[in-house]
Amino acid sequence: TSLDDIKAKGKLVLGLDDAFPPMGFKDENQNIVGFDIDLAREVCKRMGVELVVQPISWDAKELELSTKNIDCIWNGMTYNEERAKSMTLSIPYMKNTQVTVVLTSSDVNTLADLAGKVVAIQNGSTASDAIDANADFKNSLKELVKVDDNVQALLDLKVSGSDAVVMDEVVARYYTEKEAGTYKILDETLADEDYIVGFRKGDKSLCAEVEKYLKEMAADGTLAKISETWFGK
Ligand code: GLN
């Protein structure tokens, strides 16, 4: 089974977009750290295997998984129907919303203010589902541009390459705190989401084992402890 394979190999290879703080990202010392990394490391410890982290392009995640370059995608990945068809997905372990980020200096305060303007999103991200679900907003835009990751999207915002970025709230909050005074998050949100872990289609025994430890860690307080490290309280 998929679980036997991982145990025989002695390691679980986790694929991530390493520009996705605080879920998984490179710190100043080039170490990959984050909430999902701590969760996965603890799950691997309980499984008796080593955790190996493998940065990937978010847009290529399905391919990285199917070609066996990685064993799972664990990186603030949102549940959607398309992913449920192409992968085996875990139970949800955290909630998120899609939010819109603009520069503090911008006169944009509502989604309606973005009519005729340029919005950027990450390639392969569910930000695109959130925009599709809000048709009036989508149709009001001048252009929807796609970039590789959110770091690039926020840089583009600073050099006026776009007027707003739609992205995961957890990441938006990380950057608004890190670069205080630079960005603001609009009050209106675009979608509520659940974070899940993705495995190769059919890797059910591996998925069930990870779920078992996720539940165990929720019950024994480990999840709350890791959550406090990255999100406070
Ligand atoms: N939550 C978004 C998605 O699932 C972005 C995740 C990410 O870039 N790591 O597509």
CATH of the domain at 89: 3.40.190.10
- Site to probe by mutation for ligand 1, drawn from 14, 58, 59, 147 as the one with most ligand atoms within 8 Å of Cβ, is 58
Q: For 122-136, what is each residue's pLDDT tens digit? A: 999 999 999 999 999
From residue 21, give the alpha-carbon distance in Å to each of 105, 148, 168. Answer: 24, 15, 10
What pLDDT score was predicted for residue 118?
A: 98
Q: According to DSSP H, which parts of 48-149 are helical?
A: 61-66, 81-86, 127-132, 135-140
Residues 105 and 184 in one domain: yes
DSSP 8-state assignment for residue 79:
P
Question: What's the gap in Å between 74 CA and the centre of ligand 1?
Answer: 10
Closest ligand 1 atom to 150 CA: 8
- Tell me the CA–centroid distance for residue 76 and ligand 1, in Å: 6
Mean pLDDT of the chain: 97
Q: By percentage, how much of the chain surpasses pLDDT 90?
A: 98
In degrees, to the nearest 5, what angle opens at C-alpha 118 toward C-alphas 167 and 161? 90
Ligand 1 touching residue 76 (CB < 6 A): yes
Tell me: do 184 and 109 sit in the same domain. Answer: yes
Assess whether 188 and 206 both reside in one domain.
Answer: no
Q: Tell me, yes or no, whether 22 and 108 share the same domain.
A: no
Place of tokens 């890791």: 226
Report pLDDT for 233: 64
Domain count, the chain: 2
Amino acid letter for position 75 = N
Range of the domain at 217: 2-94+195-231
140 in the same domain as 210: no
Kindly give the parts of the chain with pLDDT less than 70. 233
- Please report the pLDDT score of residue 178 as a whole number: 95
pLDDT, residue 71, reads 98
Spatial separation of the C-alpha atoms in residues 212 and 121, rounded to whole Å: 34
Using the Cα atoms of residue 219, residue 221, residue 223 and residue 224 in order, give the sign of their dihedral.
positive
Distance 125 CA to ligand 1 centre (A): 5
